[in-house]
Chains A and B, each alone.
Chain A
Amino acid sequence: MKSSNALWKDALSGKMPENLAREVDIYETEITLRKQGKIDERLFAETRLRRGTYGQRYDNGQRYDGTKFQEIHYPSGELTKGPNTMWDAPGMQRIKIPGGGLNADQLETMADLAEEYSDDIAHITTRQDFQLHYIHIDDTPSLMRRLAAAGITTREACGNSVRNVTACPYAGVCQDEAFDVTPYSRALAKFLLGHPDCQNFGRKFKPAFSGCAQHACGLTNIHDVGFIASTRVENGAEKRGFQMFAGGGLGAVPYMAKLFDSFVPVEEILPLTQAIARVYARLGEKKNRNRARIKFLIQDLGIEKFKQLVLEERKTLPYDPRWTDFVKDAEQFTEAPLAAGGESPSTDSAGFKRWLATNTRPQKQPGYVVVTVALPLGDITANQLRSLADVVRRFTKETIRTTVEQNFVIRWVSQSDLAEVYKALEAVGLGDPGAGALVDIVTCPGTDTCKLGISSSRGLAGELRTRLAESSFRMDESVQHLHIKISGCFNSCGQHHVADLGFYGVSRKMGGFAVPHFQVVLGGEWEHNGGSYGLPVVAIPSKNIPQVVTRLTERYVADRATGETFKDFVKRVGKVELKKALEDLAKPPADPTDPSFFSDWGDPREYTLGDMGVGECAGEVVSSVEFDLAAAEREVFEAQIALESGEIEKAGQTAYHSMIHAAKALVKISDPNISDDPVQIIGEFRTRLYDTQKFWDPYAGGKFANYLFDAHQKADQAYTGDSSRYLIDEAQLFIDAAHSCYNKMGTTVGV
């Protein structure tokens, strides 16, 4: 779209690393070939995805305007950039930032790109990446060249590839770390980028590094491979290594990473990861992308068998000097401060005091602190990025990193500079207190821009943030450090499973109309690298979620035992009791004609207006289906309770029956005489809803139906703690999908 697109290549000639320049040239050629129809749209889609160039909402050429679907007639007509993805439709560009590390020039480049190609906003993701939205694909080669000139690549920021290698943003300055993981994470990122052994995965592959086991910063438990720094004494000398984990991942059904090895020497982390990549590429699922993450392979094989295969693979690898070339330098790696360390400032300013309390953290190096710049919803403007560049140049040697909480941390700030740093940040709207606190809500893009979004996660986060901005600081101290994380759908980009208060978007029908909802997810743990995963308790209409937050936090303050964490509080009080406390909020509004209830936060379009034409003759069936789906939800909740009380077999069986119950509810619409026999229900479900694709999710396809078929196939096998836990998640997702299917049938069945 930009007039200058043809000029950037020459303008930056000699300023880009040769390999990155070549990469962009190839990509640009592929764009030309696609425009000429010489590359298949599916192949082109994977090509652009591997450069971090995503589709965005409404890119199929349709948009629901609140009353009807409108065709969007883009100037490029029928030209597509992927299946059902129009060429001219705005897209998202993800930009990988290994370990979140940036310098001031790179911040300024990001500012320029946000201003010239996007809408003046850069967004930080939950994996330390940047995202720019509303980008035209024709602009992406110029954008990538400008990034390349700043030393940044978007290669493998998406697609079935090794994604951003994340790392604790406090690495090197944290008081609790074993050692600084920065050089090791960088070495792995560099080694795996474009590696031939990483080009044939069935799905993405996400590595993460943490300096310690007890904090959350690295989130190694939720990653495909995770490394936690560790040391041991060998021959009287301290030896560096990593506790290595594999097979973690959130997504629809979260898996906790398994311990692969309690101590992998630093010389072995690259070859072992390479061996894992090879085993994953060879044995991982390719056809069914819903079971293609490495977590499924490890689940199927068992960690011991997987480890055996990896170690055998390791023996076959041809030696690569890069495995160890970095090690000597890594041991010497250190960052330096710009100014001498100082004393903590004294102040009478309430605002400064509050900021000092929440947004600064002492480094292990005396006299220095890490300053957190808390970004609302992970967003920052172009001008703010430039001001941030000024701050990091003025007070540090450009030591700034992004975080998985969608913030920045400025490291190596002398305590004596804190008053000036605060003043500079506050002047440009970057001095908000509350970093890492209740008000610092993490959210994925949700329905704002994501094609998969079901509910408005950003809208809800914005609303909660507004309400909590002042009030949260007056709340009890115990509440102030709780974590709220929101995803717009079950895919967990907002990391709701590891929050104290997690929410993910679902839709439900009320009085014949679709209403945006969020599942309330409780029991997760952010600390200990995402130490435990929460489970959904009850689905609540979006507009009532602020009341959920109020009730749960007030209850916690009132009933909390001394020193009790929120996770332990949830466990002690029990989900049955907490669900009961929220149940009235799950009901339809007192005034069923209140239109605000049927729209989402920040989006005035009526969520359900398209369903208003449902004929009255649907009434009885509607009631019956809703009743049955509600019963299925009750069952899956009972399964959760059984699991928590150690009744593993009962938990698995109950979860399975909840799925059968939900399947029967849908089958009953067309076959009112369906029996209770699971075999018959499965058969009819397959014929009437799966084979006809009526149950299919627009993006996940038959994924949720396959959960049912798998559960049925394994119904006579004994359940384990893990398998019943996974089945509960799958059952909840199947029921959510049943609700969606039923909502869709309401518009198309014409009953």
Chain B
Amino acid sequence: MKELSCEEVLIAQMAAADGEEAGFSKEQLAAHLTGCANPQHELKQLQAVDQVLAGHTLSEPSIDLWPAIENRIAKRTRAALHWRPFALIGLLLVVYKLLEMLPARDPGMAFKLVPLVIVVLLFVLIKENPFKINTELVLER
């Protein structure tokens, strides 16, 4: 039979005191306790902690988190939608560049206007003229 340490005995005794499976047989624990008084003393101290804890409960103030959660969901959804058009425009520009680099094709002059159209689209999207300096105080958007 394996020789148990004081710590193993204490852990097992605390588990038994909690009404749980101790992991070792009563005989194994008893064999240790006959030759060693340390765990008994410490067990009493740990059980005192148990008693102090057992009487207390966590306070439960009434809460309604839904309005705040709904707000956060809406905010995150908006934020997620916001970057998508920009990603699409970026992708369009990359595709354009790749097509332009194809040596065997000459897409013609009209094709050269594509980036310009994309940039105009971008300005329309952000609803702002980047070349205009706003002299008015903007408090809120």
A is bound by B: no
Interface residue ranges, A against B (CB under 8 Å): none
Interface residue ranges, B against A (CB under 8 Å): none
